[in-house]
Amino acid sequence: ADTDSSVSNLTLPDCDLDGAELGGYLSWSAPDGGANSFVAHYVVYMAANEIDNGTYVGCPPGFGSVMSTDSDNRSIGDLDFAKPWCRSLYRINEFGDAVLTVPSDTTFVNLTHYLVYTKSTLVEQTTPTIVEIDDRRATVSYVHWVSEDLNLNSAGGTVVWYPPANSFCLQSYVVYIARSEVGLDRVELGEVSLGTNSLEVTSLEGNGTLPFAQYSHFLVYTKSTFVEQTTPAFISFADAASKFQVSSPSFTDDDLDEHELGGTLFWNAPELRGLVTKYNIYLAEDTAGTSRSLLGEQTVGTDNLTVPLNTQLQTFKYFLIHSASDTVEQSTPITLPVVDANASISGLEFVDKDLDADEVGGTVYWVTPDASMDRVSGFKMYFGDSAEGIGVRSQMGDDIDPQDQNLSMLEDTPLSDANETVNYTHLLVYTFSILAEQTTPVALTLSDASSTVLNLAFNDLDLDYQDLGGNLSWSLPDDLSQVTHYNLYFAGVAAITSTTITTTTTATFTSTSATSTTTSSTSTTSTTATNTTTSMTTSTVTATSTSTVTTTRANDTSDESGVFVNGSDNDSSENAAYNDSLNTTTTTAGPGPGSAGVVAGAFSGNASVLNDSVDDEGGEIANLTANLTTTIVSTTVITRIDSSEPAFPPSEANRILVSTIAVGPSRYAVPADTPTSTFTHFLVYTASSMFEQSTPTMVRFYDEIASVSNIDCFDRDLDAGDVGGVVSWDPPLSAGSVIAYRLFAGYEGDSGLVRQQFGSDVPVGTNVADLFDFPVDYGDLLIYTVSSLVEQTTPVGKPVTDAEASATNLTFVDYDLDFGDLGGDLEWVKPPDDSLVESYMVYLADNAAGGPDLLELNFSESGGGRVEQGVANQGVHSLNFPVDFDRLGCTEDACVGTHFLVYTKSAFIEQTTPAALKFYDRSSLVQNLSYVGLDLDLGELGGICAWEPPEDTDLILGYNVYLSGETAGATRSQVGSEVAFGTNKLDVPAETPQAPHEYLLVYSRSSLAEQTTPAAVAFVDADSLVSNVTFTDEDLDLGEL
């Protein structure tokens, strides 16, 4: 019989506690029953598999190779029986000896298994029993020393360790003291059982021949029931002491002054605090602690110390940190070299480019520190009254980025404090860290540059209205070192800011007088004001208008001379003068064709004075006032500005650059025809390469004005190509030299102003002229004042727009279905601009052109004109004609009235050419009406009423059928309900009484009304009674027939 004689229960508990070494008892159970009768020996091998992670590696020298097989391919653990083994014979035991001692410290290199084969007298078993080698290492960890003596000068203390993770076979721990980590001259200090992880050491007396100081290590061995560990865990005295020391000390000096410290000293807590209670921190000259000075102490748990700002470094070079217990300070400190941060800038420079006295401005330059820039958080710059910064100082701007090497100082920076009690003399620059600002700054003495022109003078040699010309001269500044050029400006009253206002306004202006006033101009978006004295005379103007107005500032562009004028370049020619005419404080409205720059005034808010100051010859101040809530379109021209003073220094909005003049000649030639706009002064500023002076030298100029104002020239004729109305204007405030007014039509052509005189000169004293025959293609009306010498160069203009306002798209649908009668709404589309339309006049006519107004009687007889039908007010764009409206003059198949005419009408005149509509008179009478009577009783009706629909059925919604005594339907009674359109018959119910009706009437109905004139048919009552009825009773019994 086939017998399995394999051993079982094969085990090897490794009780050698060192890694890569074995020791213990390999044991097994003999084969069961009769299977052991042939076993003579047990053969034991140490083995490893020839295949490593699926790769065949073969066997090393000295190892035999064998293949284990099994018919059932059985598994033991993770190993298949059918594997190639590299094996080495370890021992042969006689049958009956089932235990094999594996000595301690047995190495197994790369061997992984023990194989046990049974062997008969004939042959060794092919398939072994297998046990995997499990190397069990049991070494303690983290051996350390706990003692108040942090220097390990005596034996008083406790050796402490962490137990191994694997306690298999472990029985106890044996502690030694030795002169090396491998146990040189070791002396046993004691043994403790498993579960105890420390040993108290009091002295070495009786344990050895050497004093404690001669030893250097503590050793801890694990011990099993089989053997004591060969390789112990250990700690040197030096390492034991170092575990009480702090680690990783660091310090950043945030006091940026040389020879001073400030910041926080950090460290990591000791690996083993044990009985450490505090840290003592010193400054010393070297790591040995020479001349050390206590900086501070810190209790355990706090791992940093604040070094106060401005701590004097003296000759110290190191920080020393000693751990200490309650009884002793550790002798060996942790040391850290002191790095003194010195981070002051250098090369501080500043040149004052602000040319005003007691003010500075420009760029400050410096060089960043060479060292310790990593400590620098930024720079602070101050004005101070001393170089040391110990007096009064004021920071200039915000903190400065550490990478910056310059700072722009704004112009007009004052050299005194806010109360002007301290004058600054120095510029101070400090570096600062995250801790504090430097104590000692780098200082620079300030030098203030002051450069102002003197003796500014101007004599106007150009005598035109709002034009200047002549030489402006001045004396050179005393200090020219930083002056690079001069800036010449016009300055005067507050500027008009640009805004757009759309509104409807009704306002009345009246003339008032006062000895002085404060002027203002207000819009919906901005308000500007200046103190002025104004002189003007005004007439009363009442106006109502709806407009979109853009308010603009005069003086937009510059001519070749650099002088800023309005509208376009000023070339001093007559054509250019038209563009230059707009330099007033009035407001420009939307211009007509080619009207670039024609003036129209606009004001909003409660305006007390329209424009700048004017001084009339009587010394009185005339003031134009109005209580305005929105905007009025008008033209306003100021005649004189001669007494106001601009704000000093003027604001940017209150001046305009005339020219930039290089240093050299101390004069400037103001070109002729330079417009003054609203300006009253010349200002001359000196300028450096960076800044313009804040406080200029200024001189006032004088100019005479004589222009009309408040032109009214609206076209109130609503027909295209026709202009109708009256031109009116206000005379100049100063009209002593004016003898006439000259009116022109004008437009801006490709080469300038094109103009044509309109009418004759109007003598002074007359301020109106007819607007008829105005050449509307020119677009603008221009009015020049004329003296005995010359015509004014600059006119006042007003756009003249041909007003056209006709109704369009007339529509009328006749919902009255009777011929000769109308009913419905006449509708039209309003003109695109209906601002001048006050009403719409509607007429009935026999043609599209209209004609004379006629009475209805005359029109009905002959036509040839028009008859008024109604008026629709502005905003209403329809007129209702009620049902049965008479077309007038109608016969059986024709009427006189054929057209509706709609005329627009302004306050001035009714339109000449109407919008016309030839309307359609709708007739929808049913045809071929019939009645068939089916009720056979006399005096009763019943049957079918039928008809054919009218030729025009577009507006029919239904039919109504009536019984009536006459064809006109004066007395009638409806039969049934309304018959829906599309059905052309109605059943008359049986036994309907006939009397008093003789006719059947059918009316068509639209959405507006029922027809007035019906279709009619007379009906005949059907009588079907028999006659001569006889009966003879041939039943001879009473009561029976």
pLDDT digits (tens, 9 = 90+) for 277-316: 999 999 999 999 999 999 999 999 999 999 999 999 999 9
pLDDT at 607 over 60: no
Residue 611 half-sphere exposure toward CB, CA atoms < 13 A: 27
pLDDT at 55 over 70: no
What's the pLDDT at 939?
78
pLDDT tier at 52 (50, 70, 90 boundaries)?
A: low
Do the beta carbons of residue 400 and residue 378 sit within 8 Å? yes
What's the pLDDT at 1030?
80
Q: Which of 151-165, 169-183, 580-594, 598-612 has the highest average model confidence (pLDDT)?
A: 169-183
Task: For residue 480, give both structure tokens.
Answer: 């020219």
Do the beta carbons of residue 244 and residue 270 sit within 8 Å? yes
Quote the CA–CA distance of 652 and 355 in Å, as a whole number.
Answer: 18
pLDDT tier at 920 (50, 70, 90 boundaries)?
A: confident
Quote the CA–CA distance of 1041 and 637 in Å, as a whole number.
Answer: 128
Q: What is the DSSP string of 844-869?
A: EESSSS--SB--HHHHHHH-SSEEEE
pLDDT tier at 1011 (50, 70, 90 boundaries)?
A: confident
Closest CA to 947 of 972, 925, 970, 965: 925
User: Hey, what's the torsion of the CAs at 477, 478, 479, 480, to 10 degrees?
Assistant: 50
**For 761-809, how does the pLDDT look when each residue is reduced to its tens digit (9 = 90+)?**
999 899 998 876 677 788 888 988 887 666 777 788 888 877 888 999 9
**For 800-810, how does the pLDDT look when each residue is reduced to its tens digit (9 = 90+)?**
877 888 999 99
Contacts of 585 (CB under 8 A, 6+ apart): 493, 496, 521, 554, 610, 611, 612, 636, 638, 678
pLDDT tier at 318 (50, 70, 90 boundaries)?
A: very high
pLDDT tier at 719 (50, 70, 90 boundaries)?
A: confident
Q: Give backbone dihedrals phi and psi of 173, rounded to 5 degrees, phi first.
A: -120, 140
Contacts of 559 (CB under 8 A, 6+ apart): 565, 569, 570, 571, 671
pLDDT at 265 over 90: yes
Which strands, in side-by-side order, build the sheet including 454-458? 454-458, 467-475, 667-675
Quote the CA–CA distance of 11 and 25 in Å, as a whole number.
Answer: 8
Within 10 angstroms of residue 513's Cβ, the number of other Cβ atoms is: 13
Q: Give backbone dihedrals phi and psi of 977, rounded to 5 degrees, phi first.
A: -100, 175
Q: Is the dihedral of CA 785, 791, 795, 797 positive or negative?
A: positive
Q: What is the mean pLDDT of the chain?
A: 78
- The residue with greater pLDDT, 938 or 190, is 190
**For 938-976, how does the pLDDT look when each residue is reduced to its tens digit (9 = 90+)?**
778 888 899 999 988 888 989 999 988 888 888 888 888
pLDDT at 850 over 80: yes
Judge residue 912's burial from the number of C-beta atoms within 10 Å of its C-beta, 0-12 exposed, 13-18 middle, 19 or more buried: exposed
Quote the CA–CA distance of 232 and 227 in Å, as a whole number.
Answer: 13
Which of 139-153, 215-229, 547-561, 728-742 is predicted with the least confidence, judged by mean pLDDT? 547-561
Do the beta carbons of residue 178 and residue 207 sit within 8 Å? no
Which of 580-594, 736-750, 979-993 is predicted with the least confidence, judged by mean pLDDT? 580-594
Distance between start and end Cα atoms, the chain: 141
Q: Give backbone dihedrals phi and psi of 929, rounded to 5 degrees, phi first.
A: -70, 135
Residue type, 286: D
**Mean pLDDT, residues 157-174:** 92
What's the pLDDT at 1024?
54
Task: For residue 35, give both structure tokens.
Answer: 């299977």
Quote the CA–CA distance of 204 and 379 in Å, as a whole number.
Answer: 65
What's the pLDDT at 209?
61
Contacts of 619 (CB under 8 A, 6+ apart): none
Task: For residue 57, give both structure tokens.
Answer: 């590696």
pLDDT tier at 840 (50, 70, 90 boundaries)?
A: very high
> Tokens 């010394």 identify what position?
619
What percent of the chain has a predicted confidence (pLDDT) above 90? 35
What's the pLDDT at 802?
78
- The residue with greater pLDDT, 612 or 876, is 876
What's the pLDDT at 701?
83
pLDDT at 520 over 90: no
What's the pLDDT at 334?
95
Which strands, in side-by-side order, build the sheet including 141-146? 141-146, 157-162, 198-201
**Mean pLDDT, residues 982-994:** 87
pLDDT at 609 over 80: no
Quote the CA–CA distance of 237 and 109 in Å, as a whole number.
Answer: 34
pLDDT at 666 over 60: yes
Chain centroid to CA 146? 66
Angle at 440 (CA atoms; ends 438, 446), nearest 5 degrees: 115
What's the pLDDT at 156?
83
DSSP-derived 3-state class of residue 399: coil
Local structure of residue 791 (DSSP, 8 states) = B
Helices (H) and strands (E) in the chain, counts: 3, 73
pLDDT at 404 over 90: yes
Quote the CA–CA distance of 464 and 705 in Å, as a whole number.
Answer: 8
Quote the CA–CA distance of 977 and 12 in Å, as a whole number.
Answer: 120
Contacts of 638 (CB under 8 A, 6+ apart): 534, 536, 584, 585, 610, 611, 612, 614, 678, 705
pLDDT at 470 over 80: no
Phi-psi category of residue 58: left, alpha or beta, with phi > 0 → left and psi -120 to 50 → alpha:
left
Quote the CA–CA distance of 512 and 517 in Å, as a whole number.
Answer: 11
Quote the CA–CA distance of 764 and 730 in Å, as a whole number.
Answer: 11
What's the pLDDT at 565?
28
pLDDT at 506 over 90: no
Within 10 angstroms of residue 1012's Cβ, the number of other Cβ atoms is: 16
Q: Is the pTM of this model over 0.75?
A: no
**For 675-712, how does the pLDDT look when each residue is reduced to its tens digit (9 = 90+)?**
888 888 999 999 999 999 988 999 988 776 678 889 98
Question: Which residue(s) pair with 423 in the sheet?
Answer: 416
What's the pLDDT at 222?
94
Closest CA to 660 of 693, 684, 677, 694: 684
Which of 153-162, 383-392, 855-864, 1008-1017 is predicted with the least confidence, judged by mean pLDDT? 855-864
pLDDT at 838 over 80: yes
Which of 8-22, 346-360, 731-745 is predicted with the least confidence, judged by mean pLDDT? 731-745
Within 10 angstroms of residue 89's Cβ, the number of other Cβ atoms is: 12
pLDDT tier at 350 (50, 70, 90 boundaries)?
A: very high
Angstrom distances, CA of residue 327 to CA of 286, 324, 447? 25, 8, 66
pLDDT at 374 over 90: no
Within 10 angstroms of residue 986's Cβ, the number of other Cβ atoms is: 21
Q: What is the DSSP string of 284-337?
A: ESSTT-TT-EEEEEEETT--EEEEEEEEE-TT--EEEEEEE-SS-B-SS-EEEE
